[in-house]
Structure 1
Amino acid sequence: MNLDRRTANVQYPMVHSMSASSPSQSYQASCHCGLIRYTVVLSPPLHDMQSWVVECNCSICARNGYLNVYVQNQCIQFQTVGLDSNLVEKYRFGKQRVQHYFCSRCGSSLMAESIEPGFYEGVKALNVRMFQGVDLNNLQRRQIDGRSL
């Protein structure tokens, strides 16, 4: 994965990947109405001391209260419709580098991904608020300066 480091002071989030040698955990996730359901495997798991979620200060993340984890695409398995379905709304803004995905029925903010080649290619930023059974108060959080990206 090639990260575009245009701004030296931006801290980039870790990317979860499939790992046979590290502990992992599977999480069930869905939009509010359940139309879009998926499973995510995180290595390390959210409760691991090496794992943290991102609180980004860009305009959309700050307004919607996203708590994101970055995962390689192969860590996500859709049970119902995928992101290419017409039941999933897509939105881009600003520099048009990132596409955000929402449920067309309930409006839940599911995830985002870079659409710029070389910038977080093959990775999605998943909103942990969609994960079932996760105590958000116990997650380690890191601030990211997304406004500078």
Structure 2
Amino acid sequence: MASDRPSKKYRASCHCQLIRYTVTLSPPLHDADSWVVECNCSICARNGYLNVYVQNECIEFETVGLESELVEKYRFAKQRVQHYFCTRCGSSLMAESIEPGFYEGVKAINVRMFHDVDVHTLQRRQVDGRSL
């Protein structure tokens, strides 16, 4: 995250509030240079993910972290990416690469978990995740 650019901290959580966290984005979502990824892979398309990619240090967990037994992990296809879900409400929180050298140190954060963000106003970029 560039220090000379504006940033904003977003509150996020699963639907039941069991897993709460904040994500710092630079630029903020309302910035003209900001966009979210709409991926065509099977899990993103079925769950309606709108992702932003952030460095791990831009995420702060307020309650339980991803290693908690309250967070379910799921991999499929080439087993390169691990997805995280709340075990109580099933919300799709985020995903990360588990393959060394493939998006290392970065998480794909589902913006639909952000509080007070109108996803209809966000700029979107289509990504061909099926090919990854």
- Compute the TM-score of the two structures, normalised by the length of structure 1: 0.88
Matches within 5 A, 1:64-75: 64-75=47-58
Quick one: distance in 1 between partners of 2:15 and 2:118? 17
The alignment partner of 1:61 has SS state of helix
Corresponding position: 1:25 with 2:11: no
Unaligned runs of at least 5 residues, structure 1:
1-16
Aligned pair count reads: 132
Shift of residue 134, structure 1, vs aligned partner? 0.3
- CA offset at residue 20 of structure 1? 2.0
Q: Which residue type is aligned with residue 121 of structure 1?
A: E
Q: CA RMSD in A?
A: 0.5
Moved over 6 A (4+): none
* Alignment equivalent of 1:91, drawn from 74, 96, 106: 74
For residues 136 and 96 of structure 1, the distance between their equivalents in structure 2, rounded to whole angstroms, comes to 29
Amino acid in structure 1 at the alignment position of 2:22: T
Identity of aligned residues (%): 80
Q: Deviations over 1:30-68 (max 9, x none)?
A: 000000000000000001111100000000000000000
1:50 equivalent among 26, 29, 33? 33
